Every structure is written in structure tokens, then in C-alpha cells.
């Protein structure tokens, strides 16, 4: 398979972070309209725009520091249960106040002392990402606060005043966060689970189209699997994190918490049944089987859409509506035992979800079943210790960010009278990411969004000449920008830049809004260029080196999944857990492949081998799912033979994971005929993996990597 041959047929128009599509070479820069959050926009507008309006109305320019603190606090809020959000927001507020006051005082020292101290601070704020996504957001914003605090030297009284106002602004935004959250305590969990069912509906629709195309090629089916299975798995894991946080926060299973957990589990199991159905349809030569499957899928999609909306709105379904549709689907599959078993499994999962959408559908009780958390001390220290090694991508990223900040600060700090020079080091710090692909993507999105937002902001600001009107204009701009924050990063940057240009026109009326927009675009482009260049020059860790580890992990996960399915002795919960682990590992491999395709001087041999491994593992997983739903397959062999094949598959995949090439001897010959053909396909796929795994091992010796020295340790 060549990189250029990846099918685009079943990809979304533009890939997004959680729906990247089938084409791994595309950057996920699309727009996710379903991610609009109006409440978040209103919260941000109340937090910062209202304070700016008060500042202008009362003639108190110092309140701008309170507004900036509120703005940044809203930015570092990534959502989730309040027990995880509030500590992050309060930590940012306190640390931001200390940093602004402290570095404002340090700015009185000579620059040769200030710059190293500032870069040490950037190193620390970048390294806090070891504690997870919330800490990453806090660290990024603290870096911005640090750079802004260096704009001018502060006296002790002024530093104390700014720190106090920063505390007030952060606490004001945190208070609003708690109020907005309390209005909808379960909505984030409902929205996340609803999105899982929405993705299942999309998978079903695309599978129905493929079912109606007997001429669909193997690449079409691979594209379907890569696009939709990856997207559904991403949504399931995202929803799982939110739901488990909610359950852990409340201690015991409430009615809503239990509903969210059961709906998510039903969606997970339905996902497995749809994978099995996909495998059954792809290998079907009987037009009657395809026709029956088409009826099943045609009925299934609207059920999934209705359930998704009912979960989101927390509304009850009309009695009997789901059952009538399911009866139609089950009648269509009566003549095909294999298809009937999958349809029955799907119907059972749908009934669970539908019952939970009716009054009294579940009565709670019992503990949440969550795993006890580590002690607070271990939660803080273990990630730090694990990343204090040169093999840590986070440590190298933090050092890289601090080093690149040196020239950016050295260029801009001498011009302390320039109100806009800080945009250069800020852009450098926030654009840099641990991976080249994400750094390049952020640079492109930031540049495009800044130019668009600058033009829009300049046009708006140039038509307004009254200070209060300027301040009032910020309210709807904040609502729009923050409501669309998760839609796409480029749209978010356009919204933020519009706010910055209008705000700068308000604070510095002597500057033209077009001048401000031009300077921001210039500094953003220069900062993005510095970030990308710095990443390439300072300890780059190329993705193909990490990709090999992801291949090993995926092979090991599929080895466990194969043994769990074929042995026939594992409980369903164990099989489901191994299937989930296999799906997550394949998603991780595809993310690594996608990043590798964005790097200059691509290691084509290794990437192409990785693509073959990925497609093969998707097929193996699909066939294993189909085996679970095959009513007659277990009778084709005795238990000892199934156990022998289970151990052979596990040993073969485990050997490939350890790069031990050479097929293991089969435990027995597979009788020809349709009964054991699914097992024979899996065995052939495992043996065919010898080729791409061998190429993965040989690639470093046979490939010349353009423009690179020896690859750094990942």
C-alpha cells in the first residue's frame, strides 16, 4: 500500500481531532459544529467583558488586569467534573498572581539576569504537562502570564495591586464556572455519551452504503474501518473519562450516573457487534445476506439517531417505538443464522439504551465501582520522576521551549515601550508542541486564524469611536469566540484575535486598528516560524521511532484479544476489556502514523509498513469480533483444538511484537470449507504480518532520511 493510495471516500470533508477520517496524511483542521458551547461563551463574556465594561465606565484602567485574569482562567478550563476543574482554576489563579507580581519585580534587574530566570520559569510551566490535560492548559497560560509580566518593571506597591486584581479576576471566573456547572451537572456526561451513539449512527450509515456496493474494494473497507472505528473508539474513551469522573465525584451511583455508565457500556458492546457485522458483510458473496444486512442497517441508523438525541436532551422515548423498528430488522435476518445472531445482539443493546430513556428505567444502588485513586503525594511525584529522563518527550519539549524562548525574549524585551512585542515570545511558547506534526499544525492554524481575526477585528474597531461602545462590543465577541472554542483551533484563533484587536484599540487609541492587526499577524507568523525551526533544530524525536513502539503495543494487545476470543473460557467482561485494549492500541498506532506523515523527509518504507500492519490488525480484530457471533463455529473443532489455536495466535503475535520473525508451526491443518474459513483468514493474516514487521526492522538500515541526522531517542 502506498501512502498516496489511502482512500478518501469515507473521510469527513475536513478531519477533526476526534473524527480524523480515513486519510492519516491529513491534518485534523476541520470544523466540528456539534462542539459549539453557548454556555461557555456566556460564562467567558460575563467573566471578562463585563469587567472591561466596568473599567471603562468607572474610569479604572487597572481593572484590565482583573479582566485578563478572568479571560485566562476561562481559557485554562478544559471542562469536566467540578472537583477536577476548580483545583486547576484556583491553582492557575494563585500561581498567575504570584508570577505576575514576582516577575514584574524581577524586571527591574538587568536583562542578562531576567532572561535566564524567565526561561527557567517557562521550563517549569511547560513541564507541568506531566500531570495531564488540565495541567497542560494551566501551564500554557502561566507561560503567557509570565511573558506579559515582563512588559514593564513594577514597584512593590504596583506589583501587589496587580497580583490582587489578578486573584480577584481568577476567583470571579472560577465562581462563574461553578455556577454554570451547577446548572447542568450531568449534561457533559450526557453530551459525551450522546456523541458516542451519534458516531455509531455515522458508522452504520457508511456501512449501509458499502453493503449496497458489491464491487467495493478492499481499500474501501479499510477506509471505512480506519475512519469510523477510530472515531467511535475516540468518542467512547473520551466519554468514559467524563462519566467515570462524574461517578467518582458523587461517590455512589445516582440514577443519572448509572444511566450514563450503562448507556456507554451498551454503546461499547453495540460497537463490537457492528464490527462483526462489517466483517460478515465484507466477506459475503450471497446477495440475500447483503440484502438482509441492508434492511438491518437501514432500520438501525434512525434508531441510533433518536437514541442519541434522547440521551442528549434527557427525554423519554415513545413506548414501543424502538420495538416496532427492531421487529422489522429481526424479521429480515430470520433466514441467516449468522446474521440473526448479530442482529439479536444489536437488538439487546438497543433495548438496554431505550429502557434507560424511559421513566423508572433504572434504580440506582451500590458503589460506583471505581478504582481507588492513588494517594495525592504519589499522583504528584510519580509523573515527575517518570519524566526526569532524556527519553521523556515532555522533558525534551520543556527544555526546547525554554531554549527557544531565549532569542524571542532577547529580541523583544529591550523594546519595553512596544505594547505588542510580547506577541512574538507568546506565539513561540504556545505553538511549540512535543511532536513536530502538532507543532506544524498549530503554526498553520494560528497563522490563518490570526490573519482572519485581525481583518475582522480591524474592520469592527475602525467603525467604533466611543470607549464604552468598544467595551460593550467585547461582550458578543467573547460569547462567539468561547462558544466556538472547540469547533476548531483556527476558528478559535480568529475569535481571540478579533477580541485582542478591539481591546487593543480600546486600551491604546493612538494606534490604528489596522496597524494592530498587521503587527499581530507579523509577530504570529514570525513566532510560528521560530517554533517550527526550533523544533527541527533542538533534539527532534522523529515519529517513526515512536511508531515502532506503538506497533509492538498493538500486536501485544491483539495477541491477548485473540486468545480471549478463541479459548472460549474467558468471561464476556474479559473479552470486552481485551477488545477495548486492542481498539485503543490501534488508534494510538494510527495517531503515530498520522504524525509521521507530516514530518519532512518521511521514512516512507517504515510508514508504508506501518500502514499495512494497521490495516491487517483492523481486519484481524474484525474477524475476531465476527467469530464471537458465529453460532456454528465453536462446533467445528473440539475445545482442545480451539485452545491450541488460541495459544498459537497469541504466541505468533507476541513474537512479532518482539520482532522475532519466522512463522511458528501451526498446531494442526485447517480443514477446507466454509465452517473454518474465518479462522483460516485470521491465521493467514497473522502469517502475512511477517513481511511488514520485517520491513519495519530493516528500515533504519536501508532508508536514507532526508535532512536528518541520527534519530533522537523517543
Total residues belonging to the chain: 714
Residue 30: the pLDDT is: 62
Residue 674: the pLDDT is: 66
What are the backbone angles phi and psi of residue 367, rounded to the nearest 5°?
-75, 165
Residue 29: the pLDDT is: 59
Confidence of residue 714 (pLDDT cuts 50, 70, 90): very low
Residue 24: the pLDDT is: 62
- Residue 191 in this model has a pLDDT that exceeds 50: yes
Residue 106: the pLDDT is: 93
Distances (CA, A) of 154 to 408, 564, 625: 21, 65, 65
pLDDT tens, residue by residue, 213-241: 888 888 888 888 888 898 899 899 888 88
pLDDT tens, residue by residue, 541-553: 777 778 888 999 9
Confidence of residue 134 (pLDDT cuts 50, 70, 90): confident
If you count DSSP H runs as helices and E runs as strands, how many of each does the chain have, helices first? 27, 0
DSSP per position, 682-695: HHHHHHHTHHHHHH
- Residue 26 in this model has a pLDDT that exceeds 70: no
User: How many other C-beta atoms lie within 10 A of the C-beta of residue 324?
Assistant: 10
Residue 640: the pLDDT is: 85
What's the rounded mean pLDDT across residues 237-254?
69
558 close to 569: Cβ distance less than 8 angstroms? no
Nearest of 460, 419, 466 to residue 57 by alpha carbon = 466
Residue 368: the pLDDT is: 39
- Residue 184 in this model has a pLDDT that exceeds 70: no
- Residue 566 in this model has a pLDDT that exceeds 80: yes
627 close to 676: Cβ distance less than 8 angstroms? no
Residue 118: the pLDDT is: 94
What whole-number distance in Å separates Cα of residue 464 and Cα of residue 56?
A: 15
What's the rounded mean pLDDT across residues 149-178?
92
Please report, for the chain, the start and end positions of each structural domain, with discontinuous segments joined by +: 33-183+393-537, 187-313+317-356, 543-700
What whole-number distance in Å separates Cα of residue 538 and Cα of residue 390?
A: 13
Residue 325: the pLDDT is: 85
pLDDT tens, residue by residue, 271-290: 999 999 998 888 877 888 88
- Residue 258 in this model has a pLDDT that exceeds 50: yes
Report which of residues 710 and 455 the model is more confident about. Answer: 455
pLDDT tens, residue by residue, 601-642: 667 778 888 888 998 999 999 888 888 877 677 777 788 888
Report which of residues 710 and 261 the model is more confident about. Answer: 261
Look up the pTM and report it.
0.77
Dihedral angle sign, alpha carbons of residues 201, 207, 211, 215: positive
- Residue 701 in this model has a pLDDT that exceeds 60: no
Percent of the chain with pLDDT over 70: 85
Fill in the DSSP letter of residue 318.
P
Pick the range with the lowest mean pLDDT from 24-38, 162-176, 282-296, 497-511. Answer: 24-38
3-state SS class at 252? strand
Residue 18: the pLDDT is: 60
What whole-number distance in Å separates Cα of residue 622 and Cα of residue 600?
A: 34
Beta bridge partners, 252, equal 367
Question: What rounded mean pLDDT belongs to the chain?
Answer: 82
- Residue 50 in this model has a pLDDT that exceeds 80: yes
Residue 99: the pLDDT is: 96
Nearest of 282, 87, 254 to residue 681 by alpha carbon = 282
Dihedral angle sign, alpha carbons of residues 31, 37, 42, 43: negative
H or E element in which residue 161 lies: helix 156-183
Q: CB under 8 Å to 392, separation ≥6 — which residues?
A: 386
3-state SS class at 629? coil
pLDDT tens, residue by residue, 419-454: 788 889 999 999 998 888 888 888 888 888 888 888
User: How many other C-beta atoms lie within 10 A of the C-beta of residue 690?
Assistant: 15
Helices 543-567, 690-702: axis angle to 10 degrees equals 170
Q: Using CA atoms of 258, 262, 264, 269 in order, give the dihedral in degrees to the nearest 10.
A: 170
What whole-number distance in Å separates Cα of residue 101 and Cα of residue 153?
A: 10
User: How many other C-beta atoms lie within 10 A of the C-beta of residue 34?
Assistant: 14
Pick the range with the lowest mean pLDDT from 42-56, 392-406, 686-700. Answer: 686-700
Report which of residues 674 and 594 the model is more confident about. Answer: 594
Residue 102: the pLDDT is: 94
Amino acid at each position: 500500500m502506498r501512502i498516496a493510495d489511502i482512500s478518501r471516500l469515507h473521510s469527513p470533508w475536513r478531519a477533526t481531532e476526534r473524527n480524523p477520517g480515513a486519510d492519516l496524511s491529513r491534518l485534523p483542521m476541520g470544523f466540528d459544529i456539534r462542539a459549539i458551547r453557548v454556555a461557555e461563551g456566556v460564562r467567558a463574556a460575563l467573566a471578562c467583558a463585563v469587567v472591561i465594561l466596568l473599567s471603562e465606565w468607572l474610569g479604572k484602567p487597572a481593572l484590565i488586569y482583573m479582566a485578563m485574569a478572568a479571560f485566562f482562567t476561562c481559557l485554562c478550563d478544559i471542562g469536566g467534573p467540578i472537583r477536577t476543574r476548580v483545583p486547576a482554576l484556583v491553582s492557575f489563579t494563585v500561581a498567575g498572581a504570584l508570577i505576575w507580581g514576582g516577575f514584574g519585580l524581577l524586571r527591574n534587574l538587568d536583562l542578562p539576569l531576567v532572561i535566564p530566570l524567565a526561561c527557567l520559569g517557562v521550563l517549569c510551566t511547560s513541564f507541568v504537562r506531566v500531570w495531564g490535560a488540565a495541567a497542560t492548559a494551566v501551564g500554557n497560560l502561566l507561560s503567557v502570564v509570565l511573558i506579559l509580566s515582563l512588559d514593564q518593571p513594577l514597584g512593590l506597591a504596583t506589583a501587589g495591586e496587580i497580583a490582587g486584581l489578578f486573584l480577584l479576576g481568577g476567583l470571579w471566573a472560577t465562581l462563574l464556572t461553578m455556577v454554570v456547572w451547577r446548572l447542568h451537572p450531568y449534561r457533559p456526561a450526557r453530551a459525551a455519551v450522546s456523541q458516542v451513539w451519534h458516531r455509531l449512527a455515522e458508522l452504520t450509515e457508511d456501512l449501509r452504503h458499502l453493503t449496497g456496493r458489491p464491487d467495493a474494494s478492499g481499500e474501501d473497507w479499510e477506509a471505512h474501518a480506519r475512519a469510523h472505528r477510530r472515531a467511535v473508539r475516540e468518542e467512547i474513551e473520551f466519554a468514559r473519562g467524563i462519566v467515570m469522573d462524574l461517578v467518582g465525584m458523587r461517590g455512589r451511583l445516582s440514577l443519572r450516573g448509572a444511566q450514563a455508565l450503562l448507556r456507554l457500556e451498551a454503546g461499547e458492546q453495540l460497537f463490537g457487534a457492528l464490527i462483526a457485522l462489517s466483517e460478515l458483510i465484507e466477506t459475503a458473496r450471497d446477495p440475500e445476506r447483503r440484502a438482509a444486512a441492508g434492511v438491518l442497517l437501514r432500520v438501525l441508523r434512525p434508531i441510533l439517531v433518536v437514541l442519541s438525541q434522547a440521551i442528549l436532551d434527557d427525554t423519554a422515548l415513545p413506548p414501543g417505538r424502538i420495538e416496532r423498528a427492531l421487529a422489522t430488522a429481526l424479521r429480515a435476518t430470520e433466514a441467516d443464522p449468522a446474521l440473526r445472531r448479530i442482529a439479536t445482539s444489536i437488538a439487546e443493546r438497543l433495548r438496554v439504551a431505550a429502557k434507560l430513556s424511559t421513566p423508572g428505567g433504572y434504580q440506582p444502588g451500590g458503589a460506583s465501582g471505581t478504582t481507588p485513586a492513588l494517594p495525592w503525594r504519589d499522583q504528584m511525584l510519580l509523573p515527575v520522576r517518570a519524566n526526569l529522563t532524556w527519553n521523556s518527550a515532555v522533558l525534551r519539549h520543556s527544555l526546547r521551549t525554554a531554549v527557544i524562548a531565549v532569542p524571542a525574549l532577547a529580541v523583544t524585551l529591550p523594546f519595553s515601550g512596544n505594547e505588542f512585542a510580547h506577541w512574538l515570545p507568546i506565539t513561540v511558547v504556545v505553538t511549540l508542541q512535543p511532536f513536530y506534526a502538532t507543532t506544524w499544525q498549530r503554526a498553520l492554524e494560528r497563522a490563518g486564524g490570526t490573519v482572519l481575526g485581525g481583518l475582522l477585528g480591524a474592520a469592527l474597531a475602525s467603525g467604533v469611536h466611543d470607549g464604552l461602545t468598544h467595551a460593550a462590543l467585547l461582550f458578543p465577541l467573547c460569547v462567539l469566540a468561547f462558544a466556538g472554542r472547540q469547533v476548531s483551533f483556527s476558528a478559535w484563533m480568529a475569535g481571540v484575535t478579533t477580541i485582542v484587536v478591539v481591546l487593543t484599540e480600546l486600551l491604546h487609541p493612538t494606534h490604528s486598528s489596522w496597524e494592530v492587526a498587521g503587527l499581530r499577524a507579523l509577530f504570529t507568523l514570525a513566532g510560528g516560524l521560530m517554533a517550527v525551526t526550533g523544533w527541527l533544530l533542538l533534539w527532534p524525536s522523529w515519529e517513526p521511532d515512536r511508531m515502532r513502539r506503538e506497533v509492538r503495543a498493538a500486536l501485544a494487545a491483539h495477541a491477548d484479544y485473540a486468545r480471549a476470543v478463541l479459548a472460549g473460557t474467558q468471561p464476556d467482561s474479559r473479552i470486552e476489556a481485551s477488545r477495548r485494549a486492542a481498539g485503543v492500541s490501534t488508534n494510538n498506532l494510527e495517531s503515530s502514523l498520522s504524525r509521521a506523515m507530516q514530518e519532512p523527509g518521511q521514512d516512507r518504507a517504515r510508514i508504508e509498513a506501518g500502514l499495512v500492519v494497521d490495516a491487517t490488525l483492523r481486519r484481524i480484530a474484525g474477524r475476531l469480533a465476527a467469530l464471537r457471533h458465529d453460532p456454528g463455529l465453536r462446533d467445528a473443532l473440539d475445545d482442545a483444538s480451539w485452545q491450541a489455536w488460541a495459544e498459537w495466535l497469541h504466541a505468533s503475535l507476541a513474537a512479532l511484537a518482539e520482532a522475532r520473525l519466522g512463522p511458528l508451526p501451526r498446531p494442526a491443518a485447517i480443514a477446507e470449507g466454509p465452517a473454518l474459513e474465518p479462522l483460516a483468514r485470521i491465521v493467514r493474516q497473522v502469517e502475512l504480518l511477517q513481511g511488514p514487521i520485517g520491513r519495519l526492522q530493516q528500515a533504519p538500515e536501508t532508508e536514507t532520511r532526508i535532512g536528518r541526522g541520527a534519530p533522537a531517542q523517543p
